[in-house]
Structure 1
Amino acid sequence: MKHLHIWQNEKFTEPYIKFINKHFDPSEHLFIIVGSGVGAKITPRENVLEISRNASGIKRLLSEMYKSDKIYLHNLFNMDVNRLLFLQPWLLKKCYWLVWGADLYAYRNPRTTTKEKFKEFVRAFVIKRMGNVVTLVKGDYELAKEWYGTKGTYLHGAYINPISKDYLDSLALSEKSKDSPVVIQIGNSADPSNNHIDALNKLKNFKDQNILIYVPLSYGNKNHAKVVAEEGKKIFGNKFIALMDFLPPEEYSAYLNNIDIALFNSDRQQALGNIYALLYLNKKVYIRSDTSMWSHFKEKFEIEMNDVLSIENMDFNQFVQNTETQNKKKINDVFEEHYLVDIWGTIFNK
């Protein structure tokens, strides 16, 4: 097998397999799904293998790793895979780590137990010796070099955005009357890395304004979702709405079309699918200037983003004013299949 892909069933898994089989030779790609996950049901295909995290499953996985020319690690969350590579580091030269974000920024997590320290020791060993590092944002590759000393070759990568460009184009222009509230979104999930509470506090000065705040909390940390929902209601009352139910892509696209301002307070690369869609809809988007995403949008798309870290120094008119009308044109390519075909063709032919 020329190309071996390893990951769990996540929300990008099924769309990615469909995309690769459509645009590249399926006989050259094997997708191994290790254990259970939270993504959509995987369509049975000849080049898809779902294995359990037991001895026989891991043995089959290792066999396929040896037989493949290239190994694509779609994130580094799976410790079974990390341990295999730790014990057989000669495999790493043909590995491609597709960085998701949390698997890199785990470097900053405190570790107090022996088990936690050992897991990070294994990860650090693997990352340092990784043959290739594929990131959506080049700044994440620079961090991998700084934190883990990786010497792997850098490649740019991107996944299929589940939010369809065709559907975004079909949405009618969101019309607002002078009495309509300013609709604000905070974050994209119940992952604590969204720093929801800090974001809510940054908006506290605007609580008496005509606003409506939505916070997607349908997946991630359930306990954190509960805390955010309670704090949001405490500060903003009926102006705060926690989105606890998962919305299919088309419904979520329509929801995004109603947003005026989106605020992403994560201190790492996160939520780029949401951000791309919102920029395409010419919404006002705030991210943090101390993240790798900040330079990504400036250098790759010539988009001047709005800084979350400056909100507390703004009055309400400054916060809501949106004069940008060209972002749709600037961000268009990320929704085009030819853009992704070129990206993955470069990776596969490397």
Structure 2
Amino acid sequence: MMKIYGNMCPRILIITLSKLTYLDTIASMIIHIFENIPHHYHNFISFFVNNCGNEFKHRALIQSSNDPLTDNNNINLLGDLGCTAATYSNNSQLLSLMKQEAKESEFIFHSLTNRKLWLELLFSGFLKRSSWVSWGADIYQYVLKKQTLKQVIAKTIHSLACKKMHYVKSLNPGDGKLITQILGRKKVETLPYPLVGVKQPEHLGIEASANQKILLGNSAAKSNNHFELLDSIKHLAADDISVYMPLNYAGTPDYIDEVVEYGQTLFGDKFKPTFEMLSKEEYDQLLASIDVTVFAHDRQQGLYVAYYMMLHGKKLFLKASTSTFTNFKSYGFDVFSLENLASIQYQELKQINYTSQLKNQNTLINNFTEKALAKKWHAFFQKLTHKK
């Protein structure tokens, strides 16, 4: 399949194949490298292009979905944002695409969980102009009491490669400390992503809903600890609640079936799992209807949902042991401990504190909106491209 996007840039020819996508190179380009999570990279590229300075040129290398039609659609959507794009199906294709870029280009890996890719990058010559923004899973994979020999070797390779990188960023200070402790990278700066494409609500809900809608987790990934989530609110099973659980990506069918069976056993028809992928508008509509969100992650995860809850004055429960909980507390957010949820009864859960709602909303606006974080990302891009 070949398609020329002349209305975007007359010099750029995008040829989408099952193996490679070739793009003409442009000097001083910032190349964003993403794994196959379209709802993430669509939002972030939109933010980079529209809010972080028009002097930068952006390109995205996105992991293939293995469906040519879907890949082409994602490339078109990024093109509409003003960002050229290419797809890769494996490490070899990614490195080949990187070699085609101008020597002045800088690469940003937005999460990097692939251990074999770390090894290939170590001997590639790209590390000195590559940066890594850790999303959590790529560092927490080493937080284990006992590690296999393969895991020890992988961590050693990761450590060597990490130390050679241009910049390393974390989404909160706690994760940055982990990168320093585990991988030995001395300088790790905090650079969060913003809440993208969400407007401040016209008013905060000051009256409790008759039916309390509770959201558990943010995906079907086992890191959500779904059974722990369900157990944390099982004492509310007889109360007027609806239990929503997104199970639409990142999980295996057998695991999802087990979670659904347990949820239905505890809550019957009050349990409302979501299996289909939602558009951003549909997802935002779901979040707007939620009264309480509960996360049982052992690491930083689900920040979009967490930010949305703060902006809309909703209650958020997190494990007190996580870097997310510590980071939110350091900003002054009123967040609640998952460990205490089992002792909170229905009437107490329904109570609304308008002062707390307003504080959370203002703190979010001042620190995690696109406007609040645009200057920080702009400064990062300036460092990468050596622009004064």
TM-score range, shorter chain: 0.7 to 0.9
**What TM-score, normalized by structure 2, do the two folds share?**
0.78
Alignment of structure 1 residues 105-124 onto 2, 5 Å: 105-108=140-143, 118-124=153-159
Q: What is the Cα deviation at residue 36 of structure 1? A: 3.5
Taking structure 1 as reference, are residues 325 and 56 closer, same or farther at Cα in structure 2, changes over 3 Å only? closer
Query: 1:154 aligns to what?
Result: 189
Code of the aligned partner of 1:47: T
2-structure distance, mates of 1:176, 1:147: 44
Q: For each residue in 1:243-277, what CA deviation from the matched residue of structure 2 results, as whole angstroms up to 9, or x when unmatched?
A: 11222122222222221111111111011100111
CA contact (8 A) 2:365 2:372 kept: no
Q: For each residue in 1:158-216, what CA deviation from the matched residue of structure 2 results, as whole angstroms up to 9, or x when unmatched?
A: 1553xx323x6369959756xx2221111111111111101211212222222221111
Tell me if 1:75 matches 2:102.
no
Taking structure 1 as reference, are residues 183 and 21 closer, same or farther at Cα in structure 2, changes over 3 Å only? closer
Report which of the two has the higher share of helix: 1
1-structure distance, mates of 2:60, 2:336: 39
Taking structure 1 as reference, are residues 207 and 127 closer, same or farther at Cα in structure 2, changes over 3 Å only? same
Code of the aligned partner of 2:308: A
- Structure 2 gaps of 5+ residues are 1-26, 384-388
Taking structure 1 as reference, are residues 60 and 284 closer, same or farther at Cα in structure 2, changes over 3 Å only? closer
SS in 2 for 1:325: helix
Aligned length in residues: 342
Alignment of structure 1 residues 90-169 onto 2, 5 Å: 91-108=126-143, 118-159=153-194, 161=196, 164-166=197-199, 169=201
Match of 1:14 among 18, 24, 42: 42
Query: 1:194 aligns to what?
Result: 224
- Which moved further from structure 2: 279-288 or 222-231? 222-231
Tell me if 1:212 matches 2:242.
yes
Q: What is the Cα deviation at residue 55 of structure 1? A: 4.7
Match of 1:328 among 345, 349, 361: 361
1-structure distance, mates of 2:83, 2:168: 28
Calculate percent identity across the aligned residue pairs. Answer: 26
SS in 1 for 2:61: strand
Taking structure 1 as reference, are residues 340 and 9 closer, same or farther at Cα in structure 2, changes over 3 Å only? farther
Q: For each residue in 1:47-75, what CA deviation from the matched residue of structure 2 results, as whole angstroms up to 9, or x when unmatched?
A: 323344375653332353x7135321111
1-structure distance, mates of 2:325, 2:251: 26
CA contact (8 A) 2:242 2:270 kept: yes
Q: For each residue in 1:114-145, what CA deviation from the matched residue of structure 2 results, as whole angstroms up to 9, or x when unmatched?
A: 66665444333323443422122111101111
**Larger RCO (CA within 8 A; separation ≥ 6):** 2
Query: 1:297 aligns to what?
Result: 328
1-structure distance, mates of 2:234, 2:329: 29
**What TM-score, normalized by structure 1, do the two folds share?**
0.85
Code of the aligned partner of 2:380: I
Task: Note the aligned Cα RMSD (angstroms).
Answer: 3.0
Tell me if 1:32 matches 2:69.
no
Code of the aligned partner of 1:271: G
- Structure 1 gaps of 5+ residues are none
SS in 2 for 1:341: helix
